[in-house]
Amino acid sequence: MTKPRPELTGQAEDYLKAIYELERGDAPAGTNALAERLGIAAASVSGMLQRLARLGLVKTERYRGSRLTEPGRAVALQLIRRHRIIESYLVTRLGFAWDDVHHEAEQLEHAASPELIERMAKVLGNPTADPHGAPIPTAEGRVDERRFESIAALEPGAGARVARMSDRDPKLLRYLAGRGIRPGARIRIEAKEPFDGPIVLTVGRERQTLAPGAAANVWVEPDASVSAAAPKSRARGGTPKRRASGNSR
């Protein structure tokens, strides 16, 4: 069973989750970054941060932004656990598409009781990752926080396995699915066009092209088992050009 969490509004919980996600980038959550993440005016951020600081959930430093305290981190991880278990349940048990669950989970995560979440998790077999590959924190607040490179950071010739991708944009998820890019997919970078041009890669046995902006939102882990042989099929959008000598990043 999970420990009782502080009585917080859904908005306050969203702040804690946003700070946690921004901290994953190794920087305190600044006012502007939080406002952008939450889709609100920067002027309204300071008041909530002061309230969370009084509750002992965040620490703020002038000109340096905010960081979660241990209690604040615990609340954020429980919210993330609820969100990702709900996404998993919607996809696995209710037949929702993987690009259709982020908004639903955002609404339900604040209303779901700890008991409901734990029953969902049990029914699902206590999954360790959501449909987009994101790690699900345990009920005790442990989470896999390994860092991965994005597809955009890989050099031509590199082989990798897709670990996870951002779930915030349904259009992005549909775009990736159309190219066979899902958690577990094995890829090989064939070429990177210069000046932010498309990335040519093999996904399974098929050649595809991927926009750099999309590639930056897909995280992978090295996989030396990916075949070095180039497939015979043509890349979506035309025959790939000869490998470029430049790197778009």
| CATH code of residue 43 | 1.10.10.10
Residues 52 and 125 in one domain: yes
- The secondary structure of 70-98 as a DSSP string is HHHHHHHHHHHHHHHHHHHHHHHTT---G
Q: Is 0.85 topped by the overall pTM?
A: no
Length of the chain: 249
CATH number of the structural domain spanning residue 168: 2.30.30.90
Percent of the chain at pLDDT > 90 equals 74
Domain range for 35: 1-145
Query: Among 145, 160, 190, which residue terminates a domain?
Result: 145
Q: State how many domains the chain has.
A: 2
| pLDDT over threshold 90, residue 238 | no
Q: Are residues 92 and 23 in the same domain?
A: yes
pLDDT value at residue 94 = 96
- Check whether residue 178 and residue 207 sit in a common domain: yes
Find the mean pLDDT for residues 108-133. Answer: 96
Q: Could you tell me if 52 and 67 lie in one domain?
A: yes
Say if residue 172's pLDDT is above 80. Answer: yes
Please indicate, yes or no, if residue 248 is contained in any of the structural domains.
no
